Structure 1
Amino acid sequence: MVEREPNDPDLDAIFGALAHPTRRALIEQLAGGPASVGDLAEPHDVSLAAVSKHLQVLGDAGLIEVEKDGRVRRCHLDAAPLSDAFGWLTRYRVLWEDRFDALADHLENEEQ
Structure 2
Amino acid sequence: WASDVFAFFTGSFFGRHALAPTISPGKTWEGFLGGIGGALLAVGVLNMTLDMPLATIHIVILALVCTLSGAVGDLAESRFKRVAGVKDSGIILPGHGGMLDRFDGIIVAAPLSYMYIIFVVNWF
TM-score (norm 1): 0.29
Which one scores higher on RCO, CA 8 angstroms, separation ≥ 6?
A: 1
- Per residue, is there more strand in 1 or in 2? 1
- Name which one, 1 or 2, has greater alpha-carbon Rg: 1
Taking structure 2 as the reference length, the TM-score comes to 0.27
Greater helix share, structure number = 2
